[in-house]
Chain A
């Protein structure tokens, strides 16, 4: 081999060795872990000192103990002992009874062997905001609000009816977790909130300070769709609610940690949040789709714990529906106590192709409900049209706030189930739309009468036919009036265990019959069909 060849081989080998060395060194430095402790014995906890009065009120209202051990502080002597082995210990989680540390991997074994350490969990993940994938919003594109879309984003859930009845989320406290709230302190869309002092607390978990009105406009857009006003036109349902704004996500860093989400959920609980809207999720950088079971990720477990403390968690389903290697809902939307919201396309009002689908890895229905994913939102300045499950989520969170104002004694899970029941497809469901879009009319109009039949399923020797009736009553039509004029028929085929095998949405134009060969159905399967407010089934 010539001189250059030798040089290359030397360089090549050095590169390989350097890479290994750098990797090994990187492995040796500052890896993030959660160190979970075994107990909280002998700690002192005063709920009246720790909690905001609103948090105490919520617990008393829902019969939740003020002295849950999960709210007790983590033992400082344990943290001090662990600090001896690690480079840095920063976030402490009472709920997890854990401390987040940066440590050399070689030290992990030593830490894990400490008698009071239950487990050591790697913690680095990457976050995905649940707006359009790759969406970039140039500052010069801001303009006037799209009033047609603004009206649609409220009307499709009948929010204007809530507002007409005086329900706008007043008295309900909503926490938002996002990447930043640039312009919320100056934009006209939030003037009513600022003037009435309804931003009750803010915290930047990365910089550890109160200022959150910078960094990203994503949280600004989300808040506007939740509670903003474009002049006199409401942009979201909860225009009268109180807010807690938490900056939990750091765009510039390729890897951030779930630690801020965990810290923020405890912070929101402490400050009396009734609802948490989280328009973000954690995906493939750390997890596989088969791990979206509501148990694997720390945030899913934390979300379930928040629900057990009376908080309603509303989370975007995620924008991975068109990603063939993912498709399913992101975490923490996989948690069973999280109200997961999918996105509808506009104006078709069926699942947007990007909206993540269910079921969860353990076969549970997700998303729970769906709402418009294309919205008119407030930007840093002016208004813009944007898309993503990020914006479907606050539409439903706002709806929940109105409902909670209407029924203040209902628990968070009562609200959760009531929203599912109010959805326009209920009891029909599928893995793209959940139970459909929540409807205010379910709560505001008398619906004591069962929906009148709109179709029949007829079976003969070889075929199963879905035949639409021509005499559909006005009651069902009115029930549907807020949604669309689309003539959609929904049906799914499920197995004996209730798992959906296939689902369809058909636009019925002139035809009123769908015929299927009977041979495609197996014994034990069920055909569930929904058309204009009426759902019926056939068992095979």
Chain B
């Protein structure tokens, strides 16, 4: 005891108290459930079939339809976009809502490597792609069908969108001198700065079929390039509970 008395000086005792004793006091009561109904009430304003609703979504869309002119053919199936966004809905009645969305999208266009090709240039490579990275937004109005509870149900959207092409790159692949080259270009003058168009969506709760039509051109008019197909078809998944 005597030895201990001399070893445990006041500063050391304080340290021991803070490191050993205090944590055990603090953990002496463990809150297993704390439910305050004044704070955790279910909102009557926000929900799938409430006045306001907001949810994230992802979607993939494929280019479809004919190019406007020859020389702008793309590889279908491989030319597609991936989109991630947040969608907001304001309900006005059981059958009618309007809303908006903000999204980011990566669009990959794979030109066909055939004689007469013109986009983005006449050179033919083993493979080639244009990648547009976009930030955009849209507005839509929605017609819902069928009686339902707090549930999205079936709907039909029509609307318009616009996006800023904040980054475009041109990548091509070719074999040269027994080497396989992957060339990546940025800062080209031919990409259009913005894209805009109209859209339609058919929704079954989480699953949404989408078609859009681009009204703007993919390339600047000064580039004098034929435009790629303007139609997109795809599917989106709403990231919300069923």
Contact = CB atoms under 8 A, between A and B. Distances in A.
B149 A431 contact: no
Contact of A510 (B24, B202, B231): B24
Interface in A497-540: 500-511, 514
B3 interface: no
Nearest to A492: B35
27 contacts: A4-B230, A5-B230, A7-B65, A8-B211, A8-B230, A15-B156, A16-B156, A16-B158, A19-B143, A19-B156, A23-B154, A284-B150, A285-B149, A286-B151, A287-B150, A291-B149, A323-B241, A351-B33, A501-B37, A502-B35, A505-B32, A507-B32, A509-B28, A509-B30, A510-B25, A510-B28, A511-B28
Interface in B35-75: 35-38, 40, 42-44, 46-49, 65-66, 68
A275 to B, nearest CB: 29
6 cross-chain pairs, A with B, having the tightest CB-CB distances, nearest first: A511-B28, A8-B213, A507-B30, A505-B33, A23-B145, A510-B28
B68 A4 contact: yes
A285 B48 CA distance: 10
A142 interface: no
B150 A507 contact: no
Interface of A: 1-2, 4-5, 7-9, 11-12, 15-16, 19-20, 23, 26-27, 122, 124, 283-291, 323-328, 348, 350-351, 357, 430-432, 488, 500-511, 514
Nearest to B150: A284
Interface range on chain B (Cβ under 8 Å from partner): 35 or more
Contacts of A509: 27-30
A15 B200 contact: yes
Contact of A511 (B29, B44, B68, B229): B29
B36 A501 contact: yes
A510 B154 CA distance: 56
B163 to A, nearest CB: 18
A324 B213 CA distance: 37
Contacts of A328: 42
Contacts of B193: none
A432 B27 CA distance: 24
Given A4-B65, A286-B147, A348 B231 contact: no
Contacts of B49: 288
A19 B43 CA distance: 32
Nearest to B30: A507
A106 B146 CA distance: 14
B32 A350 contact: yes
A431 B48 contact: no
A26 B145 contact: yes
A28 to B, nearest CB: 12
A12 B31 contact: no
Given A432-B33, A511-B28, A325 B149 contact: no
Nearest to A510: B28
B189 to A, nearest CB: 24
Nearest to A23: B145
Given A4-B68, A19-B202, A288 B150 contact: yes
B198 interface: yes
